[in-house]
Structure 1
Amino acid sequence: MGESSPLLVPLGLCAGLVALFLFRASPRAAFVAWSLVLFFVPIWVGATVGFFWAALTLMTIAAIVANLADLRLAAVDGFVAAFALLVLALFALELATLSATVIAILQWMLPYAWGRVVLARLPARFVTRTIAAMATAAAVLALLEFATGLNPFVLIPGSGAVDEWSQLQTRASFLRAEGAFGHSIALGASLAMSCSFIIAARWRPAVMLLSLLAVIGAIVVTFSRIGLVTAGLAIAATIVFLPGIARGVRWTVATAGALAAAVVVPIVGIVFADAGGEAGGSAEYRIGLLSLLSQVELLGTAGEWSARADDGISLGAYAGSVDNTALLIALRFGWVPMLLVAAALGSIAIAMVTRRANPAAIAVASQLPALFAVALITQFGMFLWFLAGLAVAWRIADDQAATDAVLTDVSSHPPKRLQPGRAAAP
């Protein structure tokens, strides 16, 4: 680790302790700091102690420790806990790899836990507006990146992952913006999830529309079909299901969205047409991934499947990347763990429709179709799991508030006591 590592370790511990005290004293500072790292610190920035710990992972651990609180559990927590325990058991039995286990626990379960505790010490409006503001700033930087052709985040040094994620992408000779997210799809999907928070932030209509315009513009210049489709789903679901939005705002957003689609769709269509084989090959690749289904086990990793063949077709072509979250989880851990994840995320989507919706639940639900076409790469996966935990915490808080309101109403207006010998009117 170099000659300076003996000094860096105690310095890092001291910095961590200072951060814990600060985050405990000011939950708002903790969430703002975490959000800044999420949106503006690349995944390759971190420290290697045994294995690589991303800066966002370290920040998430500090935020959880500093904001621990008693929680009411929900059924979704059971699915998530069962998945985590099963992953650890599979690793202990050498039926899952270290890399896959580290990703599942540090990049998925930890952000979920942070999402579950954050509302214990912070108001939902502050969380909503912070995410909306950070996404807007990230969108403006992405637009500048596209206009200038310069991404300053790729100049930040880091681990070996910098070589994997810092390569800028193009589509039909256009630079695909990726910001600090290391990949255009990760940026596009993360900004799409943020759309529901921008509408829910209750900013003045002009500010909200400008913010949405910046975010949609940034998603357009990622040239990601996943980002565009899920942004549309998130905005539509927000104006339909999110309570408390004024009717005028709903109509304004719907009208602006329709006008934006009328402008954006033809432009994006021209770019994809110019991309030709590259864009078409990307779609065909995702369809071809279905041939990997034959390799999935009930429990445990599929092993070294890339050296095998299915119906005479070599599977090695998919070894570099599996752009399908559901399939990738199944390949790494088996059908049962994948179904537990599906149950957890699916429950959040169902609750969005059947119960009081919140921005986090809408964001998660809007991404479910995308999880069959993209892996949980870089900060996108961590953001999604954080929002899953936040959606559950938000629903529990809403249920508790509704119960408290009923109890308060009953205590304020107790039923009239009947006089002896008199029956209540039918």
Structure 2
Amino acid sequence: MTGTSVDHLMIQVLGVVAAALLLIVLRRAPRASVVLWLAALCFIPIWIGIGVGFNGKLFLPAVSAVGLVVIAALVPAPRFHLVPADVFLIILLVLGIAGLFGANGSIAYATLITTVSYFAVGYLVGRLAALRVSLSWLSAAIAIVFSIVGAVAVVEFVTGFNPFVLIHASNGLYSAWGTIQERGGVSRAEAAFGHSIALGSSLALAIPFAIAAPFRLWLRLAMVAIMLAGCVVSFSRTAMLCAAIALLLSVFFSRDLSVKARTVTLSVLVVAAVAASPLVLSVFDDAGTEATGSADYRGDLLSLLGSMNPIGVADSAQRDSTGTLHFAHFVSIDSQLVLTGLTNGILALLLACIALVGALWVVVRGRATPATIAVVAQIPALATVALITQYSILLFAVAGIAASSQWLARTARISPAAEASATRVPTGPALPIPLKELS
């Protein structure tokens, strides 16, 4: 073995020892496990991680590495039952494995690694966390952490300083995400999320949890206002739209909001829109055709639908001499739904659409938990944005919370109904009274 190989091996051994010690501490503290993972998600950039495998060729982001330890700390979950969302993830993994045996196997392999290390790890963290801690506590934790994220984004916009990009790493992820974007000559807030859209969309995901958190109404509204402000300074139309939808769906379809809370929450949305509109309109006006150009580009992606295969990577996929992945002449696929079809096949795309329609139906019926509302509010983002950086991990974590919380809500509805049915006094025709009882 070379000296470099020995160094990588020693680092991995030390990492395993540290993970084992952390696991021992977290086994008896599920709440601490959740807080640790949320902190890693929100405050460690995606380009910080560890190399795994021989010579460390596979890169595991810090949030995913922490996620694996947290998953181990949260199992077993005594109330775990297989639900349709679990089946969807399993099928997605199976389709990813099947793609390895088709053309473009190397691209399918990279896609499978992302599916496992980002999507599956995030989903399992959310799925287990919602079973090991109360949903009200989980909502409160998410609300607090993302209120801090929103405040960091506002401070970044005001000061023009992002400390996270100063954390350098010699890898492709830092090259891709370690610079600050601009729109109309104005720096867009990114915090530790590496991209303004990832930041804004993540804040939008947290809004339903803030509304459902067990705090006083004024505090919940203050948290929502901070998250909305963070979305605004990301200058992402998609994020602002998802945030507005999340707020509206929470107001009209949440089961636990009073009339007063609904009215005040709507008022906050209106005030926020009025207050933010001059800044937003000014930036987009200065951006000129930049914003409309990006929208037209997303529309052009539909031309790739014909190159998709039933299973596996699309025929239009290719890598150039620099290793950059192209689909036809498109380098960036700004639609996760389209990207799913291109990398996993039409069957995976159809399953994703069915899952989203099912979640939307639960919301319309008025039986959605905050996590399900948060996922449904992301449908515009899934159509116009690829899942990138920590946003991809968070979305699947929220999907995992939605899967667990919907199952818990369903069992809570069924149990009282079954108990009432067992104790109900018969109301049918009266039985004839024996003659001996009349004597």
What secondary structure does 2:60 align onto? strand
Partner of 1:311: none
After superposing the two structures, state which structure 1 stretch, 381-390 or 152-161, moved more: 152-161
Q: CA deviation at 1:317?
A: 4.3
TM-score by length of 2: 0.89
Q: How does 1:234-383 map to 2 (within 5 A)?
A: 234-305=246-317, 317-319=329-331, 321-383=332-394
2:233 partner amino acid: V
After superposing the two structures, state which structure 1 stretch, 204-213 or 268-277, moved more: 204-213
C-alpha separation in 2, matches of 1:181 and 1:121: 27
C-alpha separation in 2, matches of 1:386 and 1:417: 49
Report if the CA contact (8 A) 1:80-1:340 is conserved.
no
* Aligned counterpart for 1:66 among listed residues 57, 69, 73: 73
What secondary structure does 1:104 align onto? helix
Report if the CA contact (8 A) 1:76-1:347 is conserved.
no
* Aligned counterpart for 2:175 among listed residues 147, 163, 166: 163
- Cα distance, 1:416–1:283 mapped onto 2, change above 3 Å: closer
1:139 aligns with 2:150: yes
Report if the CA contact (8 A) 2:95-2:311 is conserved.
no
Partner of 1:180: 192
1:114 partner amino acid: V
What secondary structure does 1:318 align onto? coil
Q: CA deviation at 1:346?
A: 2.7
1:58 partner amino acid: A
Q: CA deviation at 1:305?
A: 3.6
Report if the CA contact (8 A) 1:80-1:341 is conserved.
no
Report if the CA contact (8 A) 1:168-1:176 is conserved.
yes
C-alpha separation in 1, matches of 2:5 and 2:157: 38
C-alpha separation in 1, matches of 2:268 and 2:424: 45
- Cα distance, 1:420–1:167 mapped onto 2, change above 3 Å: same
Q: CA deviation at 1:413?
A: 5.8
After superposing the two structures, state which structure 1 stretch, 147-156 or 96-105, moved more: 96-105
1:88 aligns with 2:91: no
After superposing the two structures, state which structure 1 stretch, 4-13 or 411-420, moved more: 411-420
Report if the CA contact (8 A) 1:187-1:380 is conserved.
yes
Report if the CA contact (8 A) 2:205-2:374 is conserved.
yes
Over the matched positions of the two proteins, sequence identity in percent amounts to: 32
1:78 aligns with 2:81: no
Could you give the per-residue CA deviations for residues 227-260 of structure 1, whole angstroms, max 9, x where no partner exists? 1000000000001111111211110010121122
Report if the CA contact (8 A) 1:348-1:388 is conserved.
no
What secondary structure does 1:178 align onto? coil
Report if the CA contact (8 A) 2:122-2:393 is conserved.
yes
Report if the CA contact (8 A) 1:46-1:52 is conserved.
yes
Which blocks of at least 5 consecutive residues in structure 1 are unaligned? 309-313
1:297 partner amino acid: N
Partner of 2:51: 48
C-alpha separation in 2, matches of 1:203 and 1:92: 52
> Cα RMSD between the aligned structures?
2.3
- Cα distance, 1:103–1:93 mapped onto 2, change above 3 Å: same
C-alpha separation in 2, matches of 1:280 and 1:420: 77
* Aligned counterpart for 2:215 among listed residues 203, 207, 211: 203
Partner of 2:437: none
TM-score by length of 1: 0.92
1:102 partner amino acid: I
Partner of 2:401: 390
Q: CA deviation at 1:21?
A: 1.6
* Aligned counterpart for 1:114 among listed residues 107, 114, 125: 125
Q: CA deviation at 1:407?
A: 3.9
1:65 partner amino acid: A
* Aligned counterpart for 2:38 among listed residues 35, 40, 61: 35
What secondary structure does 1:97 align onto? helix
After superposing the two structures, state which structure 1 stretch, 97-106 or 359-368, moved more: 97-106
1:241 partner amino acid: F
What secondary structure does 1:379 align onto? helix
Partner of 1:230: 242
Q: CA deviation at 1:414?
A: 5.7
Partner of 2:323: none
Q: CA deviation at 1:392?
A: 1.2
Partner of 1:16: 19
C-alpha separation in 2, matches of 1:64 and 1:122: 13
Which blocks of at least 5 consecutive residues in structure 2 are unaligned? 321-325, 435-439
What secondary structure does 1:221 align onto? helix
C-alpha separation in 2, matches of 1:355 and 1:315: 40
